[in-house]
Amino acid sequence: MKTIVTISVLALLMASASFAFAAEPMPIGYIGPLTGSVALLGNESLKGATLAVEQINAAGGVLGRPLKIFAADDKCNPTESVSATRKVITRDKVVATIGHVCSSATLAAMPVNEQEKIPLVVDTSTNVMITVRAGVGGNRWVFRPNLPDDINAIVFAKMIVELGGKNTSFLVTNDDWGRGVASSFKEVIEKEGGKVVSLDYYDEGETNFMSVLTKIRGLNPNALFVAARTAGGAMIMKQYTELGMKMPVFNQGDMVNEQFVKLVGKDIAKGIMGSESWYPGVDDPLNKKFEADYIARWGYDPIEPSAYGYVGVQLIAEAIRISKSATPAAIRDGLAQINMKTIVGQVKFDEHNQAWTWVVVAKITDDGKIVTVKTMQVEQPKGYWEEWDKKAKK
């Protein structure tokens, strides 16, 4: 009954707030994979963004105007990402965009945002080149509140070795995200005294992993490291189980969540450990409220994309308040000034428009629950951008 009452009250608040608005809504574009093999993540990010818009509008909007989301599907595809971004900019006249879940899609869309002078707040894309190229890297219109792959690796890859992954096999997606993850995690594992005994790539949407998993089983590694999104990870783990594989599984991506457990069952999911920039269960008042609100609105726990879709809208709204204007240039300038506590940590963008927030490690328990193992606030490493500038010029 509590959930029903909460939804009803929220609906009444939204209805009354919307009725009071006389001004035109401020249009915000959401671009992400709403269909295809990564659709779960895109739709979760959109649901997070939608919840934020509803709450902001129920509280009176921004500068007396409501926000409105215009969504477009990029299918986690770079070409589709470019056309979807152009669509919301030209058709819907959006003043800012949020997206794109997949790093390859984000990298492809970034030049469009720059050409059209429309800010982009990245939701969950983690390839480091996104912010190497942003801010003083050239593209002043792109801002990322979540951490890049190599920063996650500093925390999580070290843990993999410490937890026994001295000889680890990698199975990762063959895209900008997967390749970036593989490079970053391999470097840290080897630095910590471990060894990557095999590195295999697969295409997003692939369904048959029997051959590559059989090969990995024959190598007898201490651990399996999987860079996979929810649906792909479920396919891998079902076939991993069919082959009787037993080594510990570590995930960079989106396998440690309630949706994944529903897909594979708790017996297959138990024990998997993952790292992201956000998980439910972080002991923080803002997080607890967000999780309760999300469950009341959608009926189940949020996942990382849900959180970043939510934060993306909040950051755009705050940028409008700071600049006292909803023009794209004013929003860009407002984003550059933000210093805001959010459900993903304190967001303040540096010279490359990158925020330095949390690395969170979580694990699926024997009863299928998600528990936080470690939460670490990360500061920008000394000389970080100088090193990447050197690499980018090679």
**Number of other residues whose CB lies within 10 A of the CB of residue 394:** 4
Strands 339-342 and 345-348, sheet pairing: antiparallel
206, 202, 209: which is closest to 182 by C-alpha? Answer: 202
Q: Check residue 392 and give its pLDDT.
A: 73
Which DSSP string do the residues of 340-355 spell out, in sequence order? EEETTEEEEB-TTSBB
Q: Please indicate, yes or no, whether residues 143 and 155 belong to a single structural domain of this protein.
A: no
Q: Check residue 8 and give its pLDDT.
A: 39
What residue has token string 């410490």?
A: 162
Q: Please indicate, yes or no, whether residues 89 and 35 belong to a single structural domain of this protein.
A: yes
Q: Please indicate, yes or no, whether residues 170 and 67 belong to a single structural domain of this protein.
A: no
Count of CA atoms in the C-beta half-sphere (13 A) of 6: 13
In a domain, 213, yes or no: yes
Gap between the Cα atoms of 113 and 240, Å rounded: 41
In a domain, 206, yes or no: yes
Q: Please indicate, yes or no, whether residues 337 and 383 belong to a single structural domain of this protein.
A: no
Q: Which residues pair with 168 in a beta bridge?
A: 196, 223
Q: Please indicate, yes or no, whether residues 180 and 290 belong to a single structural domain of this protein.
A: no
Q: Please indicate, yes or no, whether residues 94 and 193 belong to a single structural domain of this protein.
A: no
Q: Please indicate, yes or no, whether residues 292 and 372 belong to a single structural domain of this protein.
A: no
Which DSSP string do the residues of 200-225 spell out, in sequence order? EEE-TT----HHHHHHHHHH--SEEE
In a domain, 64, yes or no: yes
383, 350, 373: which is closest to 147 by C-alpha? Answer: 350
Q: Please indicate, yes or no, whether residues 55 and 167 belong to a single structural domain of this protein.
A: no
CATH number of the domain where residue 183 is located: 3.40.50.2300
Gap between the Cα atoms of 206 and 39, Å rounded: 15
Q: Check residue 22 and give its pLDDT.
A: 64
The distance from CA 386 to its chain's CA centroid, rounded to whole angstroms, is 25
* Number of structural domains found in the chain: 2
Burial environment of residue 277 by CB neighbours within 10 A (0 to 12, 13 to 18, 19 or more): buried
In a domain, 344, yes or no: yes
| 163: phi then psi, degrees, rounded to nearest 5 | -90, 10
Gap between the Cα atoms of 323 and 330, Å rounded: 6
Three-class SS state of 382: coil
Q: Check residue 2 and give its pLDDT.
A: 34
Q: Please indicate, yes or no, whether residues 203 and 264 belong to a single structural domain of this protein.
A: yes
**Residues contacting 66, CB < 8 A, separation 6+:** 17, 18, 21, 23, 25, 26, 56, 57
Q: Check residue 281 and give its pLDDT.
A: 84
In this prediction the pTM is 0.91
**Residues contacting 2, CB < 8 A, separation 6+:** none
The two structure tokens encoding residue 386: 């100088």
Range of the domain at 23: 2-147+284-356
Q: Please indicate, yes or no, whether residues 155 and 235 belong to a single structural domain of this protein.
A: yes
Residue 385 falls in which region: left (phi positive, over 0), alpha (psi -120 to 50) or beta: alpha
In a domain, 317, yes or no: yes
Which DSSP string do the residues of 102-166 spell out, in sequence order? SHHHHHHHHHHHHHHT--EEESS---THHHHSBGGGSBTTEEB-SPPHHHHHHHHHHHHHHTT-S
252, 274, 295, 300: which is closest to 361 by C-alpha? Answer: 274
Alpha helices (H) along the chain: 2-20, 39-58, 78-90, 103-116, 129-132, 149-162, 176-191, 210-219, 230-242, 258-264, 266-269, 285-298, 304-323, 328-337, 384-393
In a domain, 394, yes or no: no
Identify whether the C-beta of residue 215 lies closer than 8 Å to the C-beta of residue 198. Answer: yes
Gap between the Cα atoms of 73 and 306, Å rounded: 16
In a domain, 123, yes or no: yes
- The sign of the torsion formed by the CA atoms of 110, 123, 129, 325 equals positive
For the chain, the first-to-last Cα distance in angstroms comes to 60
In a domain, 202, yes or no: yes
What residue has token string 């936080």?
A: 372
Q: Please indicate, yes or no, whether residues 267 and 364 belong to a single structural domain of this protein.
A: yes
Segments of the chain scoring below 70 in pLDDT = 1-22, 394
| 202: phi then psi, degrees, rounded to nearest 5 | -140, 155
Three-class SS state of 375: strand
Q: Please indicate, yes or no, whether residues 237 and 380 belong to a single structural domain of this protein.
A: yes
